[in-house]
Amino acid sequence: MKYPNILMMTDFGPDNSSVCTMKGVCSNICPDLITTDITHSITPFNTWQASAQLMFVVPYWPKGTIFVCVVDPGVGTERKACVAKLKDGNYIVTPDNGTLTHVYYEIGIEEIREIDETVNRLPSTRDTSIFHGRDLFAYCAGKLAANIITFEEVGPAYPVEEVVLHDTFYDPLIKENHVEGNIITVFKHFGNVFTNISYKNFKKAGFNEGDYVNVRITYKDEIIFNEKVLFHKSFGYAELNQPIIFSGSMLDICLALNQGSFAEKYGISAGKDWKVVFTK
Amino acid sequence: MKYPNILMMTDFGPDNSSVCTMKGVCSNICPDLITTDITHSITPFNTWQASAQLMFVVPYWPKGTIFVCVVDPGVGTERKACVAKLKDGNYIVTPDNGTLTHVYYEIGIEEIREIDETVNRLPSTRDTSIFHGRDLFAYCAGKLAANIITFEEVGPAYPVEEVVLHDTFYDPLIKENHVEGNIITVFKHFGNVFTNISYKNFKKAGFNEGDYVNVRITYKDEIIFNEKVLFHKSFGYAELNQPIIFSGSMLDICLALNQGSFAEKYGISAGKDWKVVFTK
Amino acid sequence: MKYPNILMMTDFGPDNSSVCTMKGVCSNICPDLITTDITHSITPFNTWQASAQLMFVVPYWPKGTIFVCVVDPGVGTERKACVAKLKDGNYIVTPDNGTLTHVYYEIGIEEIREIDETVNRLPSTRDTSIFHGRDLFAYCAGKLAANIITFEEVGPAYPVEEVVLHDTFYDPLIKENHVEGNIITVFKHFGNVFTNISYKNFKKAGFNEGDYVNVRITYKDEIIFNEKVLFHKSFGYAELNQPIIFSGSMLDICLALNQGSFAEKYGISAGKDWKVVFTK
């Protein structure tokens, strides 16, 4: 492969040709560019979810891959359009509106530049301001992937400390037989619930596969879930539709039902107000 | 890239392998062919919607791209299967059932040919007549993309005037401080509403970004929406869930809610009976 | 194309980046590998449906194609992870949990090997057991596609007779003017119903295009549908929303409504208890 892959994530949904016009813009820049979908079903305008999904996928692609992430409620207003160069060598092309939160904390941003619209915007689109996915982000990503511009030519650098970040969570509390953390995201499709507690710390606290663990989930001060749950390697160790604690795909502690939706059954969401305590 | 990209749009939905069999047919013709999805979530049998979505995407791909559009309620009956060569150098492979309406008016068709089933149909599929997407359209597109047949070898040409077209709209009425037109399509996902009034004409009539404009939408003679709405560059200039008039991605005047669905909130659809009047 | 295409089918849904991490794993093994989606909207955990959808798509791809099928309710438990080499020269990488049923009967499995996790599992994923799609199946498929391992190096062979198969159906009964069979699958999107009766046998029994045929569908002993239905080439020969019998895309006899959902209207599902009788 001569050029890095361009990966695309949006909240544009599956029922229209918007994403395909973005790919066409790349193809027009250089017909050998390859574009691949991440997902286009991010909950509309939910930059937190986009940030979390980026974090799941970035580490699995080769260095130099270009990720285009367009969840852009502020399109055409004053928010910055940027390209971030990550410390792992990947690039993210995105509105600077919170979508960089997870990679900022977990991978690190080496340098960030604001896209210079005077040179890196699709000509002939000056009279519309609502589809920067096509006119700005795909166009700039395509030029970068095809080596028509260098990273420096994206536009002026600005301080990494100015990146727009979502509020994040307190570090989890790890004691013997007692761990506290937050629910940081929920996978809509299967209803799995992700915490910010690492498998390593969970084991260090004394929990082992096969243990039944007390789990208390609270929203603000309300108790939402309070049961003894099996901790094991995978879903299939629980009975059908019974809960299970396991080490998730990012090596963080997760909760699920075996072949059911934990999030839906118990009405669980993610955020600072969603806390979870595990005790023996 | 040695061969033009083959782009695919259908109403086959996301839950089955139908589209992938079409790609396999192309791969069998020539393993170096590249296929890309437009969308497969066109409302079933809605050839008007397919026509509109084609118009959004065709202009953004390189000359020579081959678009396969299969929304085909009449599959296996007498409707023609055709390849249209557009005036911009692109090709559309489709049942001739209305899907060419928008490109006919806005890009122009240079020549149109009926697919000759005796040579351009996947052999071994004579005993089924319900999956021309695979057996006829993908197969013919693959041969055309791989230079196995020329455009002339698709089959016999027929007069462009015979292309099946949907009823279209009256030209919009443009006067000083007064513009009338039709709602020509609605994007299901975000609920944005597209008119047939160009940004250029809207400005010429005297409306400027920042103006509050009277908008009256009628269905037949019933008033569906009648409010003063801000005209500006993008969604974010309106308050959350408030309406906004803006220049859309095709440089036509559109209506939306900021982070809400205009079409759903007000029950708006598209068509000849859906009129919109803008006045100062 | 230097390498065989890797095709992916899962029940992971469209709203997350899981499938894209699988593609990244392949890209990391060899950036020239090409991955293509089959569908990711298999009904969660439904290995029968995955098996049927595989059967629809496998025959249309070039020999040597690698199909990755991950519908894996038993992930991380004792079920085998395997690669099956089919008699048509294609490969299927999948948990051995029933997804091979249709290809076993209709194409045949030449040889089957259990994936050796000690060499063909993504290093650094030892501490999670719930995403074998990424850590095992995509990784092994990528190595196989890139010629880093031979089929023999996947892991130890085991007897083809040990493949996990779903219960299948009795052979259909074919007499003059009388045919009995089972409903073997239902396409959710359009609501078409597929039987295990071949077009060839249906014709041999004396039914011809244009005939009105008595159709009786039963679930256990309950009659679900009992009407005279037109047998013809395609949907469009029936009136709108009226039923039609036709030769489906796999040359088996199917039932549908013209532009409606037969399965939904009459509440039809698939399986051993769903029988269908056609008589003159």
C241 shares contact with chain B (CB less than 8 Å):
no
Inter-chain CB proximity C56 and B18 less than 8 Å: yes
Shortest CA distance from B124: residue in chain C: C251
CA atoms within 13 A of residue B243's CA, in its CB half-sphere? 21
- Residues in chain B closer than 8 A to C39 (CB atoms): 14-17, 20
- Residues in chain C closer than 8 A to B32 (CB atoms): 1
pLDDT category at A77 given cuts 50, 70, 90 is confident
Q: What would the two tokens of residue A218 be?
A: 């609270």
Inter-chain CB proximity B75 and C234 less than 8 Å: yes
Measure the CA–CA gap between B79 and B96, rounded to whole angstroms: 7
Q: A7 in helix, strand or coil?
A: strand
Per-residue pLDDT of B40-67, as tens digits, reads 999 999 999 999 999 999 999 999 999 9
Query: Is the confidence at residue B96, as pLDDT, over 90?
Result: yes
β-pair partners for A7: A36, A67
> What pLDDT, on the 0 to 100 scale, is given for residue B161?
96
Per-residue pLDDT of B110-126, as tens digits, reads 999 999 999 999 988 88
Average pLDDT across chain B, whole number: 95
Give B77→chain C minimum CA distance, Å. 6
Of B9, B57, B233, the CB nearest to A129: B233
Give residue for tokens 């709602």. Answer: B183
Q: C118 in helix, strand or coil?
A: helix
CB C89 within 8 A of CB C63: yes
Measure the CA–CA gap between A65 and A131, rounded to whole angstroms: 23
Query: Is the confidence at residue B167, as pLDDT, over 90?
Result: no
pLDDT category at A272 given cuts 50, 70, 90 is confident
Q: Which of B262, B111, B270, B121 is nearest to B186 (CA)?
A: B270
Of A20, A24, A44, the CB nearest to B37: A20
Measure the CA–CA gap between B189 and B263, rounded to whole angstroms: 10
> What pLDDT, on the 0 to 100 scale, is given for residue B76?
84
Per-residue pLDDT of C1-46, as tens digits, reads 689 999 999 999 999 999 999 999 999 999 999 999 999 999 999 9
> What pLDDT, on the 0 to 100 scale, is given for residue A139?
98
Radius of gyration in angstroms for the set of CA atoms belonging to chain A, rounded to a whole number:
21
CA atoms within 13 A of residue A83's CA, in its CB half-sphere? 30
Query: Is the confidence at residue A4, as pLDDT, over 80?
Result: yes
Measure the CA–CA gap between A8 and A66, rounded to whole angstroms: 9
β-pair partners for A39: A9
Q: What would the two tokens of residue A226 be?
A: 């309070």
Give A114→chain B minimum CA distance, Å. 20
Question: What percentage of chain A has pLDDT greater than the value 70?
Answer: 100
Question: Chains that contact A by 3+ CB pairs under 8 Å?
Answer: B, C
A57 shares contact with chain C (CB less than 8 Å):
yes
Which residues lie closer than 8 Å to A234 by C-beta, 6 or more apart? A244, A246, C75, C76, C77, C129, C130
Rounded-to-10 torsion of CA C59, C60, C62, C65? -70
Q: Which of B27, B5, B230 is nearest to B122 (CA)?
A: B27
Of C42, C61, C258, the CB nearest to B24: C61
Which residues lie closer than 8 Å to B102 by C-beta, 6 or more apart? B51, B52, B54, B55
Q: B140 in helix, strand or coil?
A: helix
**Which 8-state DSSP code applies to residue C151?**
S
Of C25, C35, C77, the CB nearest to A60: C25
Per-residue pLDDT of A136-173, as tens digits, reads 999 999 999 999 999 999 999 999 999 999 987 778 99
> What pLDDT, on the 0 to 100 scale, is given for residue C138?
98
Inter-chain CB proximity C251 and B15 less than 8 Å: no
Measure the CA–CA gap between A170 and A162, rounded to whole angstroms: 21
Of B23, B73, B127, the CB nearest to C199: B127
Give B36→chain C minimum CA distance, Å. 9
A75 shares contact with chain B (CB less than 8 Å):
yes
Query: Is the confidence at residue B191, as pLDDT, over 90?
Result: yes
Which residues lie closer than 8 Å to C268 by C-beta, 6 or more apart? C183, C186, C193, C217, C224, C225, C262, C274
B208 shares contact with chain A (CB less than 8 Å):
no
**Which 8-state DSSP code applies to residue A205?**
T
What mean pLDDT comes out for the span B209-221?
97
Per-residue pLDDT of A200-237, as tens digits, reads 999 999 999 999 999 999 999 899 999 999 999 999 99
Residue C252 has φ and ψ, to the nearest 5°, of: -110, 155
Q: How far is CA C73 from CA A56, A263, B247, C12, in A?
A: 21, 18, 48, 11
What structural domains does chain C harbor? 6-162 (3.40.50.10790), 173-279 (2.40.30.90)
- Which pairing describes strands C157-158 and C109-114: parallel, antiparallel, or unpaired? antiparallel
Give A271→chain C minimum CA distance, Å. 18
Per-residue pLDDT of C205-248, as tens digits, reads 999 999 999 999 999 989 999 999 999 999 999 999 999 999 99
- Residues in chain C closer than 8 A to B97 (CB atoms): none
CB pairs under 8 A between A and C: 110
CB B130 within 8 A of CB B62: no
Of C38, C65, C248, the CB nearest to B128: C248
> What pLDDT, on the 0 to 100 scale, is given for residue A41?
96
What mean pLDDT comes out for the span C68-73?
96
A13 shares contact with chain B (CB less than 8 Å):
yes
Measure the CA–CA gap between B25 and C275, rounded to whole angstroms: 33
B2 shares contact with chain C (CB less than 8 Å):
no
**b (16+ CB within 10 A) / e for C30-52:** bbebbbbbbbbbbebbbbbbbbb
Q: How far is CA B199 from CA A24, A76, B256, in A?
A: 23, 16, 15
Measure the CA–CA gap between C144 and C149, rounded to whole angstroms: 5
> What pLDDT, on the 0 to 100 scale, is given for residue C136?
97
Query: Is the confidence at residue B169, as pLDDT, over 80?
Result: no
Inter-chain CB proximity C17 and A57 less than 8 Å: yes
Of A5, A42, A234, the CB nearest to C77: A234
Inter-chain CB proximity A20 and B36 less than 8 Å: yes
Inter-chain CB proximity B23 and C36 less than 8 Å: yes
Inter-chain CB proximity C62 and B32 less than 8 Å: no
pLDDT category at C113 given cuts 50, 70, 90 is very high
A237 shares contact with chain C (CB less than 8 Å):
yes
Measure the CA–CA gap between C125 and C135, rounded to whole angstroms: 7
CB B38 within 8 A of CB B9: yes
Give residue for tokens 């030519």. Answer: A153
Inter-chain CB proximity C130 and A246 less than 8 Å: yes
pLDDT category at B84 given cuts 50, 70, 90 is very high
Q: How far is CA A272 from CA A167, A188, A248, in A?
A: 8, 18, 20
CB B231 within 8 A of CB B209: yes
Of A13, A32, A76, the CB nearest to B189: A13
Q: How many C-beta atoms surround the C-beta of residue A114 within 10 A?
A: 15
- Residues in chain B closer than 8 A to A77 (CB atoms): 233-234, 236-237
> What pLDDT, on the 0 to 100 scale, is given for residue B170?
77
pLDDT category at A50 given cuts 50, 70, 90 is very high
> What pLDDT, on the 0 to 100 scale, is given for residue C8?
98
Q: Which of C45, C47, C31 is nearest to C92 (CA)?
A: C47
Stretch (H or E) spanning A9? strand A6-10
A28 shares contact with chain B (CB less than 8 Å):
yes
Shortest CA distance from B3: residue in chain A: A31
Least confident of A276-280, B111-115, B195-199, C126-130: C126-130
Question: What percentage of chain C has pLDDT greater than the value 90?
Answer: 89
- Which pairing describes strands A91-95 and A66-70: parallel, antiparallel, or unpaired? parallel
Stretch (H or E) spanning C154? none
Query: Is the confidence at residue C169, as pLDDT, over 90?
Result: no
pLDDT category at C60 given cuts 50, 70, 90 is very high
Which residues lie closer than 8 Å to B117 by C-beta, 6 or more apart? B81, B136
Per-residue pLDDT of B135-150, as tens digits, reads 999 999 999 999 999 9
Query: Is the confidence at residue A127, as pLDDT, over 90?
Result: no
Give A156→chain C minimum CA distance, Å. 30
Give residue for tokens 């029988």. Answer: C275
> What pLDDT, on the 0 to 100 scale, is given for residue C124?
84
Inter-chain CB proximity C18 and A56 less than 8 Å: yes
Q: How many C-beta atoms surround the C-beta of residue A129 within 10 A?
A: 22
Query: Is the confidence at residue C272, as pLDDT, over 80?
Result: yes
Average pLDDT across chain C, whole number: 95
- Residues in chain C closer than 8 A to B134 (CB atoms): 60, 249
A32 shares contact with chain B (CB less than 8 Å):
yes
Of A40, A233, A259, the CB nearest to C76: A233
Q: Which of B201, B177, B168, B200 is nearest to B277 (CA)?
A: B177
> What pLDDT, on the 0 to 100 scale, is given for residue A162?
97
Interface-testing mutation among A60, A88, A190, with chain C (most C C-beta atoms within 10 A): A60
